[in-house]
Protein backbone atom coordinates (compact mmCIF):
# COMPACT_ATOMS: atom_id res chain seq x y z
CA UNK A 1 0.00 0.00 0.00
CA UNK A 2 2.81 2.42 0.91
CA UNK A 3 4.76 1.61 -2.25
CA UNK A 4 1.64 2.00 -4.39
CA UNK A 5 0.57 5.33 -2.90
CA UNK A 6 4.02 6.96 -2.76
CA UNK A 7 5.27 5.46 -6.01
CA UNK A 8 2.25 6.41 -8.12
CA UNK A 9 2.08 9.86 -6.49
CA UNK A 10 5.67 10.53 -7.52
CA UNK A 11 5.00 9.19 -11.02
CA UNK A 12 2.05 11.56 -11.44
CA UNK A 13 4.13 14.52 -10.20
CA UNK A 14 6.99 13.72 -12.56
CA UNK A 15 4.63 13.27 -15.52
CA UNK A 16 2.94 16.61 -14.84
CA UNK A 17 5.85 18.78 -13.66
CA UNK A 18 8.74 17.38 -15.72
CA UNK A 19 7.14 16.92 -19.13
CA UNK A 20 9.93 18.69 -21.01
CA UNK A 21 12.70 16.58 -19.45
CA UNK A 22 11.75 13.22 -21.02
CA UNK A 23 9.93 12.07 -24.14
CA UNK A 24 6.39 10.76 -23.65
CA UNK A 25 4.36 10.71 -26.86
CA UNK A 26 1.51 8.57 -25.56
CA UNK A 27 0.74 10.20 -22.23
CA UNK A 28 -3.02 9.48 -22.15
CA UNK A 29 -2.98 5.72 -21.42
CA UNK A 30 0.01 6.09 -19.10
CA UNK A 31 -1.80 8.72 -17.02
CA UNK A 32 -4.94 6.55 -16.96
CA UNK A 33 -2.94 3.52 -15.82
CA UNK A 34 -1.20 5.49 -13.08
CA UNK A 35 -4.51 6.91 -11.83
CA UNK A 36 -5.92 3.39 -11.72
CA UNK A 37 -2.93 2.10 -9.74
CA UNK A 38 -3.09 5.08 -7.39
CA UNK A 39 -6.83 4.61 -6.79
CA UNK A 40 -6.35 0.90 -6.14
CA UNK A 41 -3.56 1.62 -3.64
CA UNK A 42 -5.51 4.30 -1.78
CA UNK A 43 -8.95 2.66 -1.73
CA UNK A 44 -8.78 -1.08 -2.40
CA UNK A 45 -5.52 -2.06 -0.69
CA UNK A 46 -6.21 0.16 2.30
CA UNK A 47 -9.75 -1.25 2.43
CA UNK A 48 -8.34 -4.78 2.61
CA UNK A 49 -5.92 -3.70 5.31
CA UNK A 50 -8.71 -2.24 7.44
CA UNK A 51 -10.88 -5.30 6.79
CA UNK A 52 -8.16 -7.57 8.20
CA UNK A 53 -7.88 -5.36 11.29
CA UNK A 54 -11.63 -5.09 11.91
CA UNK A 55 -12.72 -8.54 10.73
CA UNK A 56 -14.76 -7.51 7.70
CA UNK A 57 -16.30 -4.71 5.67
CA UNK A 58 -19.72 -3.23 6.28
CA UNK A 59 -22.22 -1.75 3.85
CA UNK A 60 -22.09 0.55 1.89
CA UNK A 61 -18.26 0.49 1.84
CA UNK A 62 -18.39 -3.22 0.99
CA UNK A 63 -20.31 -2.56 -2.23
CA UNK A 64 -18.17 0.45 -3.13
CA UNK A 65 -14.95 -1.57 -2.83
CA UNK A 66 -16.33 -4.33 -5.05
CA UNK A 67 -17.47 -1.85 -7.70
CA UNK A 68 -14.17 0.05 -7.70
CA UNK A 69 -12.19 -3.18 -7.95
CA UNK A 70 -13.88 -3.99 -11.26
CA UNK A 71 -13.37 -0.42 -12.48
CA UNK A 72 -9.63 -0.45 -11.70
CA UNK A 73 -9.06 -3.90 -13.27
CA UNK A 74 -10.91 -2.88 -16.44
CA UNK A 75 -9.21 0.51 -16.73
CA UNK A 76 -5.74 -0.97 -16.15
CA UNK A 77 -5.84 -3.56 -18.91
CA UNK A 78 -7.75 -1.14 -21.15
CA UNK A 79 -5.07 1.52 -20.70
CA UNK A 80 -2.32 -0.95 -21.58
CA UNK A 81 -4.27 -2.03 -24.67
CA UNK A 82 -4.67 1.59 -25.80
CA UNK A 83 -0.95 2.16 -25.23
CA UNK A 84 -0.13 -0.83 -27.45
CA UNK A 85 -2.50 0.44 -30.16
CA UNK A 86 -0.92 3.90 -30.10
CA UNK A 87 2.58 2.45 -30.31
CA UNK A 88 1.53 0.40 -33.32
CA UNK A 89 -0.06 3.38 -35.11
CA UNK A 90 2.74 5.76 -34.20
CA UNK A 91 2.69 9.56 -33.61
CA UNK A 92 -0.38 9.88 -35.87
CA UNK A 93 -2.48 8.48 -32.99
CA UNK A 94 -1.81 11.63 -30.96
CA UNK A 95 -3.35 13.98 -33.52
CA UNK A 96 -6.92 15.24 -34.12
CA UNK A 97 -9.52 12.58 -34.90
CA UNK A 98 -7.48 9.54 -33.90
CA UNK A 99 -6.63 11.08 -30.54
CA UNK A 100 -10.35 11.70 -29.92
CA UNK A 101 -10.94 8.01 -30.55
CA UNK A 102 -8.23 7.13 -28.03
CA UNK A 103 -9.75 9.44 -25.41
CA UNK A 104 -13.17 7.87 -25.96
CA UNK A 105 -11.72 4.37 -25.70
CA UNK A 106 -9.89 5.30 -22.50
CA UNK A 107 -13.08 6.63 -20.92
CA UNK A 108 -14.95 3.54 -22.13
CA UNK A 109 -12.61 1.27 -20.17
CA UNK A 110 -13.51 3.09 -16.95
CA UNK A 111 -17.24 3.14 -17.74
CA UNK A 112 -17.24 -0.56 -18.64
CA UNK A 113 -15.60 -1.44 -15.35
CA UNK A 114 -18.14 0.62 -13.41
CA UNK A 115 -21.04 -1.01 -15.28
CA UNK A 116 -19.86 -4.58 -14.67
CA UNK A 117 -18.98 -3.68 -11.09
CA UNK A 118 -22.48 -2.28 -10.51
CA UNK A 119 -24.35 -5.42 -11.63
CA UNK A 120 -23.37 -7.57 -8.59
CA UNK A 121 -24.19 -4.64 -6.31
CA UNK A 122 -27.66 -4.22 -7.81
CA UNK A 123 -28.42 -7.96 -7.54
CA UNK A 124 -26.87 -8.20 -4.02
CA UNK A 125 -24.27 -10.81 -4.96
CA UNK A 126 -21.67 -9.10 -2.76
CA UNK A 127 -20.37 -10.27 0.59
CA UNK A 128 -17.09 -10.17 2.46
CA UNK A 129 -14.58 -12.89 1.63
CA UNK A 130 -11.86 -13.42 4.30
CA UNK A 131 -9.68 -15.25 1.76
CA UNK A 132 -9.65 -12.32 -0.68
CA UNK A 133 -9.53 -9.83 2.20
CA UNK A 134 -12.25 -7.69 0.64
CA UNK A 135 -15.84 -7.85 -0.55
CA UNK A 136 -16.29 -10.08 -3.58
CA UNK A 137 -19.00 -11.69 -5.70
CA UNK A 138 -20.46 -14.93 -4.33
CA UNK A 139 -22.84 -17.23 -6.21
CA UNK A 140 -25.32 -19.25 -4.19
CA UNK A 141 -28.35 -19.96 -6.40
CA UNK A 142 -28.04 -19.81 -10.17
CA UNK A 143 -25.16 -21.32 -12.16
CA UNK A 144 -26.58 -19.83 -15.38
CA UNK A 145 -26.48 -16.29 -13.96
CA UNK A 146 -22.87 -16.78 -12.88
CA UNK A 147 -21.93 -18.25 -16.26
CA UNK A 148 -23.50 -15.41 -18.24
CA UNK A 149 -22.05 -12.69 -16.03
CA UNK A 150 -18.47 -14.01 -15.95
CA UNK A 151 -18.40 -14.77 -19.68
CA UNK A 152 -19.71 -11.30 -20.54
CA UNK A 153 -17.33 -9.56 -18.13
CA UNK A 154 -14.31 -11.52 -19.35
CA UNK A 155 -15.21 -11.07 -23.02
CA UNK A 156 -15.58 -7.28 -22.77
CA UNK A 157 -13.11 -6.34 -20.02
CA UNK A 158 -10.37 -8.97 -20.45
CA UNK A 159 -10.53 -10.83 -23.76
CA UNK A 160 -10.93 -7.84 -26.12
CA UNK A 161 -8.14 -5.73 -24.53
CA UNK A 162 -5.82 -8.73 -24.25
CA UNK A 163 -6.43 -9.60 -27.91
CA UNK A 164 -5.54 -6.01 -28.88
CA UNK A 165 -2.40 -6.17 -26.75
CA UNK A 166 -1.28 -9.42 -28.39
CA UNK A 167 -2.04 -8.34 -31.97
CA UNK A 168 -0.56 -4.84 -31.64
CA UNK A 169 2.56 -6.10 -29.88
CA UNK A 170 3.09 -8.69 -32.59
CA UNK A 171 2.58 -6.17 -35.40
CA UNK A 172 4.87 -3.63 -33.74
CA UNK A 173 7.56 -6.27 -33.35
CA UNK A 174 7.27 -7.35 -36.99
CA UNK A 175 7.19 -3.83 -38.44
CA UNK A 176 10.00 -2.39 -36.34
CA UNK A 177 13.42 -3.39 -37.57
CA UNK A 178 16.36 -3.36 -35.20
CA UNK A 179 18.13 -0.48 -36.94
CA UNK A 180 15.09 1.80 -37.03
CA UNK A 181 14.20 1.14 -33.40
CA UNK A 182 17.79 1.75 -32.33
CA UNK A 183 17.86 5.14 -34.02
CA UNK A 184 14.57 6.36 -32.54
CA UNK A 185 14.51 8.71 -29.58
CA UNK A 186 13.94 7.02 -26.24
CA UNK A 187 10.32 7.27 -25.14
CA UNK A 188 8.59 6.39 -21.88
CA UNK A 189 6.33 4.01 -23.81
CA UNK A 190 9.40 1.78 -24.30
CA UNK A 191 8.46 0.20 -20.94
CA UNK A 192 5.23 -1.19 -22.47
CA UNK A 193 6.53 -4.80 -22.76
CA UNK A 194 7.42 -4.74 -19.06
CA UNK A 195 3.96 -3.37 -18.18
CA UNK A 196 2.30 -6.13 -20.20
CA UNK A 197 4.45 -8.85 -18.62
CA UNK A 198 3.78 -7.51 -15.12
CA UNK A 199 0.02 -7.36 -15.70
CA UNK A 200 -0.14 -10.89 -17.12
CA UNK A 201 1.95 -12.29 -14.26
CA UNK A 202 0.05 -10.51 -11.49
CA UNK A 203 -3.48 -11.18 -12.76
CA UNK A 204 -3.01 -14.82 -13.79
CA UNK A 205 -4.13 -16.14 -10.35
CA UNK A 206 -7.31 -14.04 -10.60
CA UNK A 207 -8.14 -15.44 -14.05
CA UNK A 208 -7.40 -19.01 -12.93
CA UNK A 209 -9.68 -18.66 -9.89
CA UNK A 210 -12.53 -17.45 -12.10
CA UNK A 211 -12.00 -20.31 -14.56
CA UNK A 212 -12.12 -22.80 -11.69
CA UNK A 213 -15.43 -21.27 -10.61
CA UNK A 214 -16.80 -21.68 -14.13
CA UNK A 215 -15.99 -25.39 -14.06
CA UNK A 216 -17.80 -26.11 -10.79
CA UNK A 217 -21.50 -26.76 -11.16
CA UNK A 218 -22.03 -26.61 -7.39
CA UNK A 219 -20.93 -22.92 -7.40
CA UNK A 220 -18.13 -23.58 -4.89
CA UNK A 221 -15.37 -20.97 -5.17
CA UNK A 222 -11.69 -21.55 -5.89
CA UNK A 223 -9.44 -22.66 -2.99
CA UNK A 224 -8.79 -20.07 -0.31
CA UNK A 225 -5.05 -19.94 -0.99
CA UNK A 226 -5.66 -19.17 -4.67
CA UNK A 227 -8.12 -16.37 -3.88
CA UNK A 228 -5.66 -14.88 -1.40
CA UNK A 229 -2.87 -15.12 -3.95
CA UNK A 230 -5.02 -13.40 -6.59
CA UNK A 231 -5.60 -10.42 -4.28
CA UNK A 232 -1.96 -10.14 -3.20
CA UNK A 233 -0.67 -10.36 -6.77
CA UNK A 234 -3.14 -7.76 -8.07
CA UNK A 235 -2.00 -5.42 -5.28
CA UNK A 236 1.62 -6.12 -6.19
CA UNK A 237 0.98 -4.92 -9.74
CA UNK A 238 0.05 -1.44 -8.46
CA UNK A 239 3.40 -1.07 -6.70
CA UNK A 240 5.49 -2.62 -9.49
CA UNK A 241 4.40 -0.17 -12.19
CA UNK A 242 6.21 2.87 -10.68
CA UNK A 243 9.40 0.78 -10.59
CA UNK A 244 8.86 -0.16 -14.23
CA UNK A 245 8.53 3.52 -15.21
CA UNK A 246 11.83 4.22 -13.45
CA UNK A 247 13.56 1.66 -15.68
CA UNK A 248 13.42 4.38 -18.36
CA UNK A 249 16.61 6.41 -17.91
CA UNK A 250 15.20 9.82 -18.92
CA UNK A 251 12.16 9.42 -16.67
CA UNK A 252 14.35 8.30 -13.77
CA UNK A 253 16.71 11.23 -14.17
CA UNK A 254 13.79 13.69 -14.36
CA UNK A 255 12.35 12.26 -11.13
CA UNK A 256 15.68 12.40 -9.31
CA UNK A 257 16.26 15.96 -10.51
CA UNK A 258 12.81 16.95 -9.22
CA UNK A 259 13.49 15.41 -5.81
CA UNK A 260 17.08 16.39 -5.12
CA UNK A 261 17.88 19.60 -6.96
CA UNK A 262 16.75 23.17 -6.54
CA UNK A 263 13.56 24.14 -8.35
CA UNK A 264 15.30 27.22 -9.83
CA UNK A 265 18.85 26.71 -11.06
CA UNK A 266 21.30 29.51 -10.27
CA UNK A 267 21.40 32.07 -13.07
CA UNK A 268 24.29 34.07 -14.44
CA UNK A 269 24.47 37.76 -13.43
CA UNK A 270 22.74 39.98 -15.97
CA UNK A 271 23.65 43.63 -16.71
CA UNK A 272 20.48 45.63 -16.17
CA UNK A 273 21.67 49.26 -16.00
CA UNK A 274 24.70 51.58 -16.31
CA UNK A 275 25.15 54.63 -14.16
CA UNK A 276 27.45 57.39 -15.48
CA UNK A 277 29.19 59.59 -12.92
CA UNK A 278 30.80 62.91 -13.85
CA UNK A 279 34.21 63.60 -12.23
For residue 56, give the CATH number of its domain: 1.20.1070.10
What's the rounded mean pLDDT across residues 80-92? Answer: 88
The b-or-e profile of 122-141 (16+ CB within 10 A means b, else e) is eeebbbbbebbbbbbbebee
Q: What is the pLDDT of residues 222-274, one digit of tens each?
A: 889 999 999 999 999 999 988 998 888 888 888 787 777 645 444 556 666 67
At residue 145 the predicted structure's pLDDT band, cuts being 50, 70 and 90, is confident
Q: What is the phi/psi pair of residue 134, to 5°?
A: -165, 175
Residue 148 within any structural domain of the chain? yes
pTM attached to this predicted model: 0.84
Residue 7 within any structural domain of the chain? no
Residue 4 within any structural domain of the chain? no
The total number of structural domains that make up the chain: 1
CA–CA separation, 203 and 212 (whole Å): 15
Q: What is the phi/psi pair of residue 2, to 5°?
A: -65, -45
Residue 12 within any structural domain of the chain? no
The lowest-confidence range among 58-72, 78-92, 130-144 is 130-144
Domain extent, residue 119, equals 25-177+185-252
Residue 149 within any structural domain of the chain? yes
Residue 265 within any structural domain of the chain? no
Q: What is the pLDDT of residues 22-55, one digit of tens each?
A: 778 888 899 999 999 999 999 999 989 988 888 8
CA–CA separation, 112 and 162 (whole Å): 15
For residue 248, the 8-state DSSP code is: S
Residue 126, helix vs strand vs coil: strand
Residue 18 within any structural domain of the chain? no
Residue 61 within any structural domain of the chain? yes
The lowest-confidence range among 118-127, 142-151, 175-184, 232-241 is 175-184
CA–CA separation, 163 and 143 (whole Å): 27
Mean residue pLDDT of the chain comes to: 84
Amino acid sequence: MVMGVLGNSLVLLVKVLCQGQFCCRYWLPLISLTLSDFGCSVLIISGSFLAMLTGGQSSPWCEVVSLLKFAFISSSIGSIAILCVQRMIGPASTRSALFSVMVTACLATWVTGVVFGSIPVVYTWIKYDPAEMLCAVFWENSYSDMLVYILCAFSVCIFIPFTLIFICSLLSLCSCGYTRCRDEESDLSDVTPLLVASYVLCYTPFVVSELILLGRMDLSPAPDWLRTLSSVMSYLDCSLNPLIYCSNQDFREAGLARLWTNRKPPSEPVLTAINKHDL
